[in-house]
Structure 1
Amino acid sequence: MVPGRPGRRRVSPKPLEIDVDYLRQVLMELLEIPSPSGRTDHVQQYVGERLSALGISSTLTRRGALSACLPGPRATGADRAVVVHTDTIGGMVKRLKENGRLELKPIGTHSARFAEGAQVRIFTDDLDRVITGQVLPLKASGHRYNEAVDLQGVGWELVEVRVDEPVDDIAGLRALGVDAGDFVALLANPMITPTGYVKSRHLDDKAGVAAVLTAFKAMVDAGVQPAVTAHLLVTVTEELGHGASHGLDPDVAEIVSIDAAVVAPGQQSREDAATLAMGDGVGPFDYHLTRNLASIAREHGVDLVRDVFDYYRSDVAAAVEAGAHARVALLGFGVDATHGHERTHLDGLCHLTQLLCLYLQSPLVFPEWDAEPAGDLADFPSLAVQPASEEGPREGPIGLD
């Protein structure tokens, strides 16, 4: 059954059947589509077609963000939104070099250390021409430079793109149609191991997009209506920091961003589990929404860990900075070596997908209160001890934002 047709039913939150084959297929297809920030038309077309196949219509903003929704049982004045992004880190031709190679400017925040050795595609203005290459350090031959190879530093000024064409000067590059400002995509080279590990560049956030599409498919296949209208916003400039700065419906009261969780020493995130971020480099996420998500996971046996990230921001940071009047949270899939040689696991993606299904079936944290942008403090539904005066603390309703 598809959204809006007779026969759909609203039920209490329950685990849904996850189409793992669909998850794998969509993930691998997404990873094969180059989409550095600024050149995302192809991948957005793909996501729109996948939604259409589920019976879900979508629209595209002028800036390229895609919006869709699963309708709830009635208009409440308070909806929720799930936000993911299809743009990835990448590069742009900064300069044509005299040796027939290309100097790169990075797109998004990532180290040249992990670009070294990457296979790339160079997108010229000739859309029919495919030009490939590889990112190499300036001192790439051990037989020529010996120990000096190990002494070269790390930086974008210390790498170059070797073009897979017979060119050795600027004139040759221009004859190919290559010029400053051309996009350079780091090819993902994805694979899924027999043990369920997914190894690829750009799991951030292609794996998140695959999980969200699979969750929406599970809802549609089961004929289950979300508790409130569930918007999907697919952004295309998250890696640049703009993210969900536009495109959100004004009725959205809760926003959950889906993105890569950091698997590294000092972090609790795991590749085989879903992650609930309690805070990141911008600050803590909403107290009530994060704990509601944790409660849903506990109640239904979803493997979820909590974590806090230092050097991290997501789509919701841009949404809040742009003035979104909503509670925000971040759910993730554990990724080892983020923005480098990334790896996650299908088990973690399945846990994340199931948690999304349960969340979409659950009511808002405060259904009546959040139906309006603001309300009387005395009516706020959370009780906590609040210092009132020199006479001591008192019991009363307060908001813990």
Structure 2
Amino acid sequence: MKIPLQYMIETFFTLASIPSPSGNTDHAIAWVEAELRQLGVSSVRTNKGALLATIPGAVDQQRRLLTAHVDTLGAMVREIKKNGRLKLSMIGGFPWNAVEGEHCQIETADGRIYTGTILTTKASVHVYSRETQKMERTDEVMEVRIDEKVTSKEDVLALGINVGDFVSFDPRVTVTDSGFIKSRHLDDKASVAILLGVLKQIKESGLQLPYTTHVLVSNNEEIGYGGNASIPENTVEYVAVDMGAIGEGQTTDEHCVSICAKDSTGPYHYGLRKHFVQLAEELGLQYRVDLYPFYGSDASAALRAGYDVVHGLIGPGIDASHSHERTHQESFENTAKLILAYLQSPITTVQGGTS
């Protein structure tokens, strides 16, 4: 089964470089919208600013929906300090030490861009010695050093920077000769790139899907409500394509497609999970079944919102989630192949899957 692997990697590289913290995703959504148009896939914007694409299938009375989210972790200016530095408020869940020392950019309300670095208030070891090592990283001790000649609050305000401005983290995308992809925001721009690769293959091969299928590029997943609306009528299966978490006690690795059995919200649909496993084994894919104890997806958000759908969660295995993440191109490939096989198979209710 052909997979446009290089296209997916290049797509991720481009998309990761477009800042899109939750709440400020319009540029990334516009880029995906233009890419869908190039692929010949129709899409519409939702009221929440997400993107809903549709691929007509042979059967329209029962539909599938796949989702991946383009919003990322980030921050917002909480306070402009007297010394010209910025206090931040987190967007999404991450520890401050995960972004300490990271380059960032501040976008003003009128579109001006300034760069900076996220540091502690006592970053210099030569001045503060062991104090900086012992300091607990909290909102109160983290700040942005702006790359402009500013030494006061008035200097910063003169730049047009204000409370409420968005702060994005430099992704620093690197693709190694050994096939590893390391970057911020693999969660979940990797999955958006994978879905675009799947759509590219479907369109270029002229593949006729058995069911009308929607792809929702959501834009509020990191804050809990990205995919809980705009689900088209007749949707019976809802699959979130999101990262598989790697760590102690987990089975997922950077080369596999991870199939989630349960996250913090509870089990995913058992019949659909078994269907994914069966397809992966038939194709000889690298896969792992896993539980994510501190995780929730757009699919689980849809169930909490009251939608009567069969829900599932799969995705590429990604190391160091919500930090400087890494995966391997084999994980892209395994995930894309499973999605393509799934889209050509009977829906779970037709197969009599266990609820």
Which range, TM-score by smaller chain?
over 0.9
Report matched runs for 1:33-112 at 5 Å.
33-75=18-60, 77-112=61-96
Could you tell me whether the CA contact under 8 Å between 1:78 and 1:367 is conserved in 2?
A: no
Task: Say whether 1:28 aligns with 2:13.
Answer: yes
CA distance in 2, matches of 1:157, 1:299: 53
> Equivalent of 2:212, from 220, 229, 234?
229
CA distance in 2, matches of 1:311, 1:36: 20
Shift of 1:156: 2.1
CA distance in 2, matches of 1:318, 1:169: 43
> Equivalent of 1:252, from 228, 232, 235?
235
Task: Say whether 1:19 aligns with 2:36.
Answer: no
CA distance in 1, matches of 2:37, 2:219: 19
Which residue does the alignment assign to 1:212?
195
Task: Say whether 1:286 aligns with 2:269.
Answer: yes
Report matched runs for 1:372-387 at 5 Å.
381=352
Q: Gaps spanning 5+ residues in structure 2: where?
A: none
Name the SS for the 1:51 alignment partner. helix
Could you tell me whether the CA contact under 8 Å between 2:59 and 2:210 is conserved in 1?
A: no
Which residue does the alignment assign to 1:397?
none
Which residue does the alignment assign to 1:113?
97
Write the letter of the residue equivalent to 1:80. R
Q: Deviations over 1:97-137 (max 9, x none)?
A: 0110000000011111111011111010221x220001001
Name the SS for the 2:94 alignment partner. coil
Shift of 1:274: 0.4
Identity of aligned residues (%): 37
CA distance in 1, matches of 2:170, 2:306: 35
Could you tell me whether the CA contact under 8 Å between 2:5 and 2:332 is conserved in 1?
A: no
> Equivalent of 1:174, from 157, 160, 179?
157
Write the letter of the residue equivalent to 2:222. E
Q: Deviations over 1:210-236 (max 9, x none)?
A: 011101111111111112111101110
Shift of 1:367: 2.7
Write the letter of the residue equivalent to 2:107. F
Write the letter of the residue equivalent to 2:308. H
Report matched runs for 1:318-333 at 5 Å.
318-333=301-316
CA distance in 1, matches of 2:198, 2:286: 16
CA distance in 2, matches of 1:50, 1:322: 30
Could you tell me whether the CA contact under 8 Å between 2:244 and 2:318 is conserved in 1?
A: yes
Which residue does the alignment assign to 2:283?
300
Write the letter of the residue equivalent to 2:32. V
CA distance in 1, matches of 2:312, 2:174: 30
Shift of 1:282: 0.4
Task: Say whether 1:311 aligns with 2:311.
Answer: no
Q: Gaps spanning 5+ residues in structure 1: where?
A: 1-15, 369-380, 383-399
Which residue does the alignment assign to 1:343?
326
Shift of 1:317: 1.5
Could you tell me whether the CA contact under 8 Å between 1:70 and 1:225 is conserved in 2?
A: no
Write the letter of the residue equivalent to 1:53. Q
Shift of 1:159: 0.7
Q: TM-score, normalised by structure 1?
A: 0.87
Name the SS for the 2:350 alignment partner. coil
Which residue does the alignment assign to 1:11?
none
Shift of 1:365: 1.5
Could you tell me whether the CA contact under 8 Å between 1:243 and 1:316 is conserved in 2?
A: no
Could you tell me whether the CA contact under 8 Å between 1:256 and 1:328 is conserved in 2?
A: yes
CA distance in 1, matches of 2:202, 2:346: 15
CA distance in 1, matches of 2:48, 2:238: 20
Could you tell me whether the CA contact under 8 Å between 2:36 and 2:42 is conserved in 1?
A: yes
CA distance in 2, matches of 1:222, 1:363: 20
Q: Which runs of 4+ in 1 moved over 4 A?
A: none
Could you say which structure has the larger radius of gyration?
1
Write the letter of the residue equivalent to 2:86. L
CA distance in 2, matches of 1:24, 1:130: 27
CA distance in 1, matches of 2:344, 2:285: 15
Write the letter of the residue equivalent to 1:137. T
CA distance in 2, matches of 1:267, 1:45: 36
Report matched runs for 1:235-274 at 5 Å.
235-274=218-257
